[in-house]
């Protein structure tokens, strides 16, 4: 779940940085300490947005009945049956018939 929100947080960081730049903040100049201080106004909206998003996700999971203690489900393994073979043969024949009909109608066959 965390990996899903990385691009979202990066987009939000870009938006907040652009908003700060439009207000005259320059993130590229000054010493390391000065640049770190300029990041404070950037971090607060990011944390607030992240906590808000986490709360919304928790509410959505709770509404859908998520239970972390529930046993894991398993995929059903599919097996090839005789009906699958018959369907494959039927579709192949239908495709051949349709192609032959089309080619005969355009005069490309015979």
Distance CA 101, CA 73 (A): 48
Q: What is the full per-residue pLDDT of the chain (110 aa) written as tens digits?
A: 778 888 988 998 899 888 888 888 777 787 888 877 878 878 888 889 889 988 999 899 989 988 888 888 878 888 999 999 999 999 999 999 999 999 888 877 65
Distance CA 78, CA 56 (A): 37
Which tokens go with 110?
């015979």
Task: Tell me the CA distances in angstroms from 70 to 18, 50, 65, one per residue in order.
Answer: 44, 27, 10
> For 80, what's the count of Cα atoms within 13 Å in the CB-facing half-sphere?
4
Which tokens go with 16?
């907040």
Q: What is the pLDDT of residue 41?
A: 79
pLDDT in tens, 18-42: 888 888 877 778 788 887 787 887 8
pTM, two decimal places: 0.52
């Amino acid at each position: 779940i965390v990996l899903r929100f990385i691009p979202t947080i990066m987009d939000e960081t870009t938006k907040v940085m652009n908003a700060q730049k439009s207000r005259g903040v320059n993130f590229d100049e000054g010493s390391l300490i000065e640049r770190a201080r300029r990041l404070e106004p950037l971090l607060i909206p990011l944390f607030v947005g992240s906590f808000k998003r986490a709360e919304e996700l928790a509410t959505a999971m709770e509404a859908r009945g998520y239970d972390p203690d529930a046993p894991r489900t398993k995929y059903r393994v599919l097996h090839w049956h005789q009906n699958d073979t018959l369907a494959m043969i039927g579709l192949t024949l239908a495709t051949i018939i349709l192609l032959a009909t089309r080619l005969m109608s355009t005069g490309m066959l015979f």
